[in-house]
Structure 1
Amino acid sequence: MRSTVFLALGILLFGVSAIAPATYAQSISQTELAEATFYIENMTCALCPVTVKAAMSGVEGVQSVEVNFDARTAHVSFDPAKTDIAAIALASEQSGYPAAVQG
């Protein structure tokens, strides 16, 4: 009985993550990322990939962007609960670089 009272008090004061194992807290906060590769138009100079990466990275939910100037592509990892392919492509387009998802 006493341990139940302390457990309830701990939950009220500190939340579940304070008393739960770290792996439990981590599994709740982790979501599965989606990936997409975009073909990027209009990239003509070394600064273009910097602009594309900044535009795509600025979309909420985007975790990483890797731009390949030679292949004219951008590989993006993102949280599908926060954004989608259309929003990422729109961000690139609004920065002057239309993007179309490959595959």
Structure 2
Amino acid sequence: MNKIVLVVLMALSLSTWAESKTVILNLPTMNCAMCPITVKKALKNVKGVTDADVSYEGKQAVVNFDDELTSPDALINATTNAGYPSTIKQTDES
């Protein structure tokens, strides 16, 4: 019984090792007020994305994600595949 409890506790603690990260993506090709809807949907479909705030006026997206499940490169691929190539403007580290 103690081994089962220990295994469950270890499994639960693994999720605490993952760190939430934030990246800001430049999206220069957004050219209408509807573009952010498509970009946000593409980003939210990436496993590990917890939030995406896309601004047409700023032509950028602020994305929060679990760094154990995804990466900035995967986010760039998602926006590019949706028709809106992006680049990293800022990360947690910069």
TM-score of the two chains, using structure 1 as the length reference: 0.73
Give unpaired runs (5+ residues) of structure 1. 1-8
Q: Tell me what 1:65 maps to.
A: 52
Aligned residues: 89
Q: CA RMSD in A?
A: 2.2
Which protein is bigger by CA-based radius of gyration? 1
In 1, Cα distance between equivalents of 2:28 and 2:7 = 46
Higher helix share: 1
Give unpaired runs (5+ residues) of structure 2. none
> Could you say which structure has the greater relative contact order, defined with CA pairs below 8 angstroms and 6 or more residues apart?
2
Report the CA distance between 1:80 and its aligned residue.
Answer: 1.0
Tell me which stretches of 4 or more aligned residues in structure 1 moved more than 3 Å: 15-18, 25-28
Percent identical pairs in the alignment equals: 31
Give the alignment of 1:8-87 within 5 angstroms.
9=1, 12=4, 15-16=5-6, 28-30=14-16, 31-87=18-74
